Structures are given as structure tokens and as C-alpha cells.
Amino acid sequence: MGFADRLYLYLKFVTKGFLRHPGIGILYSGIKYYPAWERHLKPGRNPVSDRMPWVAFSAIEFLKKVVRPEMAVFEYGSGGSTLFWASRVKELVSVEHDRPWFEKIRQELDRQRLTNVRYVLKEATPDPEPGKKDFRVPGDYVSDDKDYAGKNFEDYVRTIDGYPDGYFDIIAVDGRARPSSIAHAIKKLKTGGWLLVDNTEREYYLAPFNFDRQSWKTYVFYGAVPYMHHFSETTILKKYN
């Protein structure tokens, strides 16, 4: 894809974003992150080598401002984000469902001597009622990915249950069975903590939950994503009580 094609595509997504989230912010963000978007599309760039979360640039910038060295973080889904968190916080718990990817990231953690990570592999198991579950229902623990039809992610989701309520400063949901993961994450998050949910343009992720204004402050980041030719939406919520 040549420069003109990329520029056309980028402007197309900026326009789409403006229609979804009208306001000067989406236009400003589009201009601001275009150079970074171009740089991250170059051959050889990837989230693992760059130690970068695979979320919107604007969300990454926001996270860099709120992350502190004394924090404890939990993430559903591993990758460049695992290296990002591990290099910035006191404690990280990361759960992954894919064994080959788990081995790749585990080797990278060892290579970089990042020892503050509890890295957990929890593969999907056969679902006891295949074909009867709804990926939009938090209590069903299934994924909309056709590659995991008939599979259950309850063990994966429940990894966080081993920690006390209010334990984590940040919980990132960017893996499988996201509505289920959110449901288990909420009570494990500290008051004043941050819940990150990626790809919330898929409205069913947040639809089952009432993030009311008295208990949560919501930040929505829509825009360019490193290493990708399309835009995405990341929602970050701050828990008040």
C-alpha cells in the first residue's frame, strides 16, 4: 500500500470517527497521531519489540500519564502490553489462552529479565453445553471467535478470582470472553483504579454493565492503532466506589 492509499485510508477513518464521536478532539487526534501511525507501519515494527500495548495511540498516551511504579496490574491477553506494564509497575499478573503465544512472550520476559510478572497459561476447555451459550452473556464464558466454537473460558476468566477484592490498580481486558472478564474484574479493582477495555466499538462488551456516573468516570479513545491499517476504540473507566 503506497503513501497516497494510506493517507486516503487514514482520512476515511478520521471521518468515520468524527461521525461516531463528533467534536474537535477526534480531528485533533487524527492530525496528532498520523506521523506515529506511519512510523509503526514500517517493516519490522511490532508490539513485542516496541513493548507497546496494541490499543489506540491516544489511550497509550493516557496510560503513560496514570501508570505509577507502585501499582499492581492484571491483564487478560498478553503481548507487547505485558512488556509495557512489567517495565513500569511493581506487580503484573497476565493470563493468556494461546500456548504458542504464551511461550513466545514467556521467553521474551526471561530475555529481558522482567521478574515482577506472574504469567499464567489458561487454555480453553470443552464447553459442557456446546452451542447453547451466548458470547454476549457474562455468565456464559464463551468467545465470538469461530476458532473457539464449543470452547469455554471460565478457567481463564476466573484467574483473577484468586486475588482479594480491590487488589489491582489497573485491570486491562483485551483477551477472550471480554464480557465475562469484565464481570470478574470489577470487584477486584481498587477504588480510584482503572479498568481498560479494548475494541469497545463492539458494543456488546460493555452493554451488560451499568457504569453509572456516580461510580465511574469514562474516557473513550477512538483513533489510530499502531501496526494496523484501521482505527479502533479503547474505553478506560476510573472507579470511584
The predicted structure's pLDDT at residue 97:
98
Once rounded to an integer, what is the mean pLDDT over residues 195-203?
A: 96
Query: Is a pLDDT exceeding 80 seen at residue 3?
Result: no
Task: Quickly state the pLDDT bin for 175 (edges 50, 70, 90).
Answer: very high
Cβ contact 162:122 at 8 Å:
no
CA separation for the pair 134, 233 (Å, rounded): 23
Sequence letter at residue 167: Y
Task: Quickly state the pLDDT bin for 176 (edges 50, 70, 90).
Answer: very high
Decide: helix, strand or coil at residue 221: strand
Reported for 220-223, long-range contacts at CB under 8 A and 24+ positions apart, including other chains, are 220/21, 221/55, 221/56, 221/58, 221/59, 221/62, 222/17, 222/20, 222/21, 222/26, 222/29, 222/56, 222/58, 223/17, 223/26, 223/29, 223/30, 223/33, 223/56, 223/57, 223/58
Query: Is a pLDDT exceeding 80 seen at residue 143?
Result: yes
Once rounded to an integer, what is the mean pLDDT over residues 135-149?
A: 96
Query: Is a pLDDT exceeding 90 seen at residue 211?
Result: yes
The predicted structure's pLDDT at residue 37:
84
CA separation for the pair 189, 167 (Å, rounded): 6
Least confident among 5-14, 37-46, 179-188: 5-14
Tell me the fold of 47-239. Answer: Rossmann fold (3.40.50)
CA separation for the pair 21, 23 (Å, rounded): 6
The predicted structure's pLDDT at residue 157:
98
The predicted structure's pLDDT at residue 15:
74
Once rounded to an integer, what is the mean pLDDT over residues 87-102?
A: 98
Query: Is a pLDDT exceeding 90 seen at residue 63?
Result: yes
Query: Is a pLDDT exceeding 90 seen at residue 174?
Result: yes
Where helices occur in the chain by DSSP H, the ranges are 3-20, 24-40, 47-50, 57-66, 80-86, 99-111, 154-157, 178-185
- Which helix (H) or strand (E) segment holds residue 194: the answer is strand 189-198
Beta bridge partners of 134: none
